[in-house]
Structure 1
Amino acid sequence: MKAIPVIDLFAGPGGLAEGFSSLSRNGKRYYQVRLSIEMDAQARETLKLRAFLRQFPINELPEDYYHFLSGSISLEKLYSNFSGEHRLADQEAWQATLGKTQENEVDERIRSGIAGEKNWVLIGGPPCQAYSLVGRSRVGGIQDGDHRVHLYKEYLRIIAVHRPAVFVMENVKGLLSAKVNGEKIFDNILADLSDPATVFPLNPCPGYRIYSLVREAVRSDSDYLIKSELYGVPQRRHRVILLGIREDINVQPRQLVQKESVSLRSVISDLPKIRSSIYRAFSGSTEHLVEGKIKKKRNYVNLEDSYSLWKQHVSRYADELAELLPDSFRQNSIFPSDRGAEYLQGKSELSATHPLHHWYSDSRLSGSLNHQSRGHLSSDLKRYLFSALYTRKFGKFPRMADYRAYGDDLLPDHSNAESGKFNDRFRVQLAGEPATTITSHISKDGHYFIHYDPLQCRSLTVREAARIQTFPDNYFFCGSRTQQFHQVGNAVPPYLAFQIAEIVSSVLEKNKS
């Protein structure tokens, strides 16, 4: 069987590509990712590393990859040991900016990738910040000059020029309600994708039928919205995903099949328990007159982290929050002393009975990747501890009024702390439910992603966020921890992408018969 070519646009760290490339038939990959285009340098490094691994047969990764993960050899040494595979991966993962990189260069790369094949697949999603409901509220609506609004036309141009058999386009929920100059963007996008030649008349492109992946007959725009938690992803991630099929392919696709709910606890509780670190303390604020306006300056004292200092703070905070402490906390209050690492030695994998065990696990992996905690303010440690204890006792995360009720020092030093706008500023993830949406904001701070275990008293790690996003355990993220968080938050859950890839494969196979 000849693998179906896949081109991945706005690829991020490769969530969609991972899902598609994981589908196999008779032990061989059904799809072959030929080109991934990504503008961010560190995300591209993550893409290249995963592309390198796809040069090897399924379940036959080289031993040197595990030596790299454990720190025994460098990434450069790994690549030099397999120069041919590295060269192919370097060609596949291309750092370029659609809309700025010359179109003829983009087109040449795509032509080379699909190599004349008519039945190939285009995947990806234009940058979504402009459509984000949160982003729009911050800037007072979408601005007509925001280039991110129209980046989908770069995706559309590639459809018009190269005519894939099938395309999968992903974006945020806010796309459904976004408007520019009073017109709904989504209506225009559906019309353009159905007939790309109306936007690019110089390209005699066929039309496309646009399908929902969750409903056979579309009744409203919301039928294009996929709620990931309904399909085995341990996360309430709601995204618009469009499936386009070229009009000459007379196949009606099937829809995603709902699966049992997967809780947060079930996908991260096996990971090594680690503590946060403590790096500075809030020492008060002062007001200054700046350009005629009074501005507040917050002052901090730097601290040198140590386990004893961290434990001293957390133990004191626990005493101050005694009424929330369960008996088990006092009886078993063995705090973890390790802060984690990029590679934390020790076997860790889901139970063999877990529905996603096969998806995450790698029997040759003997440690946890990208599992290192953040440093926090000493005052945030108390807020994290309070949030986790409160949530454990009452089954819901606290609001700002609850912080006030348990102590003025639990409120952050912000004038709008009790305005109602930031009631969920500190959010504990509920252990027995799917997590809330992992977003790129996790790269800025962990306040929305507090671990449910009060003994760890911290926000989630990159690996925990990656588990929530359903990245396999041997998926290594390159770059700084902030860059890793950003990559994970921007990705499509690979396990959801895998299910979509199965639907696309059935379309292509029915078209052959």
Structure 2
Amino acid sequence: MSNDVIISKLARLQASCKPRVLDLFAGCGGISLGFEAAGFEMRGAVEFDPDAARSHGLNFHGGAEAHSQPIDITKTSPADLCRQLDLGNVADAFDIVVGGPPCQAFARVGRSKLREIEEHPEAFIHDPRAQLYKKYLEYVDAFQPLAVLMENVPDILNHGGQNIAEETCEVLEAKGYVCGYTLLNAAFYGVPQMRERMFLIAYRRELGAKVSFPSPSHWLVLPPGYEGTRSVALKSLRNLADQAHSYIAPPVATPDLPPAVTAADALDDLPAINARKLLAEGKISRGARRFDNAVSYSRRKPSSYAELMRTWHGHEASKAGLTDHVIRYLPRDYELFARMNPGDQYPEAYAHAMEMFEERLAIANAQGKNVSEGSPEHKALKDSIVPPYDASKFPNKWRKMWRDQPARTLMAHLGKDGYSHIHYDSTQARTISVREAARLQSFPDGFRFSGTMNPAFKQIGNAVPPLMAKALATHMMNTIKQAVTQKDMADEPRRAATAVS
């Protein structure tokens, strides 16, 4: 790595220039939005999914064609990227690289192979998933960033018996970085969602910075049995204690902090959508949901969180209203959603549905219809009320939210059905809308999603919550500024002595 490049980048920061960021595996831009809000310059992104790439270009580059095209990192070199985005010299294009390869890329990639990935690339010819990790390292090598941020699921601490976060730190340390990783829950950082993720930060040794993580801003007692909570992830880490040299314990949230932002804080100011009423009036039907019609906010006073979502600098809400407050067409289930209690999952939903079926069956028989068991009429009635899944095999497939807690983790699977997040308001009796999913993920109301409803849900579920990213980015900005200032002060006597001589 050229020392001149690092010196040049440090000089830019000493001159108070904004650090320039490249977002790899960027999605629609959750990390990008957090870094932009913390004062970084979003200079480029790499994203393979066409809808997500268009969303990123739309929100960060005004829809510029070059920044809105999908990019396959396995077929695009750093030099290719710089030419496509007109960024000039590769080594001087970026100061920060953020993002994280999908965890599937690490399957069957051993520690020794990770270390030797550049020296022996032919070892990976038969495992294309490893190419994503190889490309990530290639981009870090080419762009020579002063800092790196990676994000991934907690399971990466024990991925097939490997601690991939630790192994990544080993690779980066060999390239001249100091590195550390931890587990952070988004609910502790103002996001109305209990989302546990691994975050890894690395700084060039020349900065003289130490790796640390932001202090929580909110307090929450995580519910027992919540899959993916810190306790579960840390248990895996303890089982691999000999592979956790770079692990840093997460900053502790304390009860004196403000309570976590709840689902109601996030959603109550949005206009109600009464699914059963819409269905009865023929105003909702099967088909793609496009974002054509704007609706106004409700008259409820917004919470401080909702106000932030409306007024986020650079992504303020449109005066025309919300155009993506749209829901799924699920006519069989609206009555069932209304009957479910907050916290109910699929077994409870199935039991409610069977009760509803028995009630309807009794009414039909009382009317003299004689719907006997095993008859086509019996089957048709049951199918119109009861979901077909085995309650013993799909316990977590459905969940009705609590209004007074943060939501559970939003997943990309929202793009397929949305049953994991049934609205807490039984009057509305539906799954959450696109804009409600965005609110729970902390995307501001002015952030636009390319494509129709399903791609938008997928983009939101895949994203890093922007407020979580902002907390990390702000902490990294302060760390970098402090390191640059101290370095500048340390260099001053040397410059003065040189001037005198």
- The correspondence for 2:173, drawn from 194, 199, 203, is 194
Matches within 5 A, 1:57-456: 89-102=64-77, 104-106=79-81, 108=83, 112=87, 117=92, 120-128=95-103, 147-179=128-160, 183-195=162-174, 206-212=175-181, 224-260=182-218, 261-276=260-275, 306-308=279-281, 342-347=292-297, 351=301, 354-355=304-305, 357-361=307-311, 362=316, 365-376=319-330, 378-387=331-340, 390-391=341-342, 396-397=344-345, 399-400=347-348, 402-403=351-352, 406-407=355-356, 409=382, 411-414=386-389, 417-418=390-391, 420-456=392-428
Tell me which residue corresponds to 2:37.
Answer: 22
| d(CA) in 1 for partners of 2:186, 2:165 | 21
| d(CA) in 2 for partners of 1:436, 1:191 | 33
Q: Tell me the CA shift for residue 487 of structure 1.
A: 0.7
Q: Tell me the CA shift for residue 413 of structure 1.
A: 2.0
Q: 1:7 to 1:309 in 2, by over 3 A?
A: closer
| d(CA) in 1 for partners of 2:444, 2:328 | 22
Q: Tell me the CA shift for residue 102 of structure 1.
A: 4.4
Q: 1:49 to 1:163 in 2, by over 3 A?
A: same
Q: Is the contact between residue 131 and residue 149 of structure 1 (CA under 8 Å) also seen in structure 2?
A: yes
Q: 1:468 to 1:183 in 2, by over 3 A?
A: closer
| d(CA) in 1 for partners of 2:82, 2:21 | 14
| d(CA) in 2 for partners of 1:17, 1:253 | 20
Q: Is the contact between residue 345 and residue 397 of structure 2 (CA under 8 Å) also seen in structure 1?
A: no
CA deviation string 1:70-101 (max 9, x = no partner): xxxxxxxxxxxxxxxx5xx3334442111123
Q: Is the contact between residue 50 and residue 69 of structure 2 (CA under 8 Å) also seen in structure 1?
A: no
> How many percent identity over aligned positions?
28
SS at match of 2:319: coil
Provide TM-score, normalisation by structure 2: 0.68
Q: What is the identity, as a one-letter code, of the residue corresponding to 1:162?
A: F
Q: What is the identity, as a one-letter code, of the residue corresponding to 1:238?
A: E
Q: Is the contact between residue 8 and residue 123 of structure 1 (CA under 8 Å) also seen in structure 2?
A: yes
Unpaired runs of 5+ residues, structure 2, are: 1-15, 108-123, 219-259, 358-381, 486-501
Give the number of aligned pairs: 378
Q: What is the identity, as a one-letter code, of the residue corresponding to 2:50?
A: A
Q: What is the identity, as a one-letter code, of the residue corresponding to 2:173?
A: S
Unpaired runs of 5+ residues, structure 1, are: 24-29, 54-85, 133-142, 196-205, 213-223, 279-304, 312-338
Q: Tell me the CA shift for residue 38 of structure 1.
A: 1.0
User: How big is the alpha-carbon RMSD for the aligned residues of Structure 1 and Structure 2?
Assistant: 3.2
| d(CA) in 2 for partners of 1:350, 1:173 | 37
Tell me which residue corresponds to 1:66.
Answer: none
Q: Tell me the CA shift for residue 254 of structure 1.
A: 4.3
Q: Is the contact between residue 35 and residue 113 of structure 1 (CA under 8 Å) also seen in structure 2?
A: no
SS at match of 1:7: strand
Q: Tell me the CA shift for residue 236 of structure 1.
A: 0.8
Q: Is the contact between residue 45 and residue 478 of structure 1 (CA under 8 Å) also seen in structure 2?
A: yes
| d(CA) in 2 for partners of 1:352, 1:460 | 18
Does residue 8 in structure 1 map to residue 7 in structure 2? no
Tell me which residue corresponds to 1:69.
Answer: none
SS at match of 2:179: strand
Q: Is the contact between residue 114 and residue 120 of structure 1 (CA under 8 Å) also seen in structure 2?
A: no
Q: Tell me the CA shift for residue 114 of structure 1.
A: 7.3
SS at match of 1:273: coil
Q: Tell me the CA shift for residue 348 of structure 1.
A: 5.2
CA deviation string 1:37-87 (max 9, x = no partner): 11111111111111234xxxxxxxxxxxxxxxxxxxxxxxxxxxxxxxx5x
